[in-house]
Structure 1
Amino acid sequence: MNLDHYQFFQSLEPKSLEKVRSEAKKIALGVGTFLYFQGDVTPGILFLNKGVVKVFLHADEIGKGEITLYYITPGEQCLVNTLSTVSQMPATATAIVDESIEGWLVPAETIRWLIDNSPAYRNFKLSFCSERLSQIMHLVEELRFKRMDQRLLNWLYVQGRDTIQTTHEQIAQILGTSREVISRILKNLEKEGVVTIGRGWIRLSER
């Protein structure tokens, strides 16, 4: 995939597309690489071609865990990255490479030029920000109103496969709770015949 294959770039004005082509920088980063930390000002917007990036909030106190906001997959954008780049304000979350990535970094100066000069880009950004904000509001609703066992089951089912390779600690970080709470809920679900638990994996018995 190259930049032209991103659907919204196909609607860009020729002058705008040429500017992006000439100023975007190709990047490739391995698992565990931090793209930016909470409090950083991001220097550009990532356009992802391959891999997965996790965006999360972390507690100020060590050991208090984290809450995953969302994952970025090829063709998607990061709201935190966008807002920090455009406004040059500190990022409100942290982003880390979850699966090795390849893509392009479009510098902040180029992004601001697009906002000023490209109606097509402005329309894309408004639509994208609205969609991503809706996802975050849904997460807030889950955190506020749903029981942890319901949230855990929801997360297991949306993975889209019967056997999920993960640990209790990883799930706890994603759902913003402790490993002990996740382990206790999983043991109860196993007794009810809903899941089977192994070392580093969980199998759904019922779909």
Structure 2
Amino acid sequence: MDTRVTEEFISLFPRFRREGELVAEILAHARRQAFQADFHLYWEGDSCSAIAFVLAGEVRVYRCGESGREITLYEIGPGETCILNASCILGNNAYPANAVTVSAGEMLLIPAREFRRLLGNYEAMSAFVYSLLSQRLTEVMELVQEVAFGRMDERLIEYLVEKSANGILHATHQKIANDLGTSREVVSRLLKDLERRERIVLARNVITLLTL
């Protein structure tokens, strides 16, 4: 086995650092695949023949309403996988959302059959999946509260307009979250949605307003 590849994988997925046998199995059965930005990995209703472990780049998981409006459920970065992808495989169900790449990157694709086997044979794999499940469930619960009760997107826009000077706001996502009484993850997701819709431009600790 290529030591460089093993070290790269462990650096991105440190939970498997002491799981040499599991890592060897993953790398033996996985296929490495590059992707470009704006590539749909899954459409709602697709079957899941493999699970993706992201090595580089970012993937956005979202739902689309009848009106065409999109809502981001969560984003996946290096060192993560999609819990809906895992659920799709384990429950033998169709993918219940859409997954599109935000930027170019790479991923490891583990066939569904091998993923089920690894999950059953290695406690570290199941612990990794359940840890991500807990994290994503918390994020989605915050999203539900935000949409149902808070209209956080409207509050965020009002905040950006009020706090900016000449269309520029210098602030961290955490500072904005603290001011609005929500989490940094919620603020980051909403800001990225605004940027995707070309209403703002994001840079490090700087937000440029375009069409708010």
Fold shared per TM-score above 0.5: yes
1:198 and 2:210 matched: yes
Looking at structure 1, the residues matched to 159 and 34 of structure 2 have their Cα atoms a distance apart, in angstroms, of: 32
Aligned to 2:15: 8
Aligned partner letter, 1:55: V
Residues 73-88 of structure 1 correspond to what in structure 2 (within 5 A)? 73-88=77-92
Matches within 5 A, 1:102-141: 102-141=106-145
Cα gap change, 1:151/1:144 in structure 2, threshold over 3 Å: closer, same or farther? Answer: farther
The alignment partner of 2:100 has SS state of strand
2:155 aligned to 137, 150, 158, which one?
150
State the AA in 2 paired with 1:95. Answer: A
Distance change (3 Å), C-alpha of 1:196 and 1:73: closer
Which piece of structure 1 moves more, 75-84 or 150-159?
Answer: 150-159
Deviation, structure 1 residue 118: 0.6
* Cα deviation, residue 107, structure 1: 1.2
CA RMSD of aligned residues (A): 3.2
Q: CA deviation at 1:171?
A: 2.4
User: Counterparts in 2 of 1:84-99, with a 5 A limit?
Assistant: 84-99=88-103
Quote how far apart the aligned CAs of 1:17 are: 2.3
- Partner deviation per Cα, 1:14-71 (whole Å, 9 max, x = no partner): 4322211110100101111100111111111111111111100012x3x521111111
Change (3 A) 1:112 1:51: same
Secondary structure of 1:99's counterpart equals coil
DSSP-derived class of the 1:26 partner:
strand
- For the 8 Å contact 1:67–1:173, the answer to whether it is kept is no
Alpha-carbon spacing, 1:25–1:198, altered in 2? closer, same or farther (3 Å): same
Q: Is the 8 A contact 2:83 2:129 kept in 1?
A: no
Q: Say whether residues 1:22 and 2:28 are aligned partners.
A: yes
Identity across the alignment (%)? 27
- Structure 2 equivalent of residue 51 of structure 1: 57
Aligned to 2:75: 71
TM-score, scaled to structure 2: 0.70
Unaligned stretches of 5+ residues in structure 2: 1-6, 161-168, 177-190, 201-206
Distance between the aligned counterparts of 2:10 and 2:140, measured in 1?
A: 29
What is the alpha-carbon distance in structure 2 between the residues aligned to residue 196 and residue 22 of structure 1?
A: 46
Change (3 A) 1:99 1:25: same
- CA contact 2:61–2:97 (8 Å) conserved in 1: yes
Residue 43 (structure 2) pairs with residue 37 (structure 1): yes
Q: TM-score, normalised by structure 1?
A: 0.72
- Equivalent-residue separation in structure 2 for 1:93 and 1:111 (angstroms): 20
Task: Point out where structure 1 has 5 or more consecutive residues left out of the alignment.
Answer: 163-167, 187-194, 203-207
CA distance change for structure 1 residues 196 and 43 in 2, over 3 Å: closer, same or farther? closer
> Matched residues in 2 for 1:105 and 1:8: separation?
18
Return the structure number with greater relative CO, CA threshold 8 A, min gap 6. Answer: 1
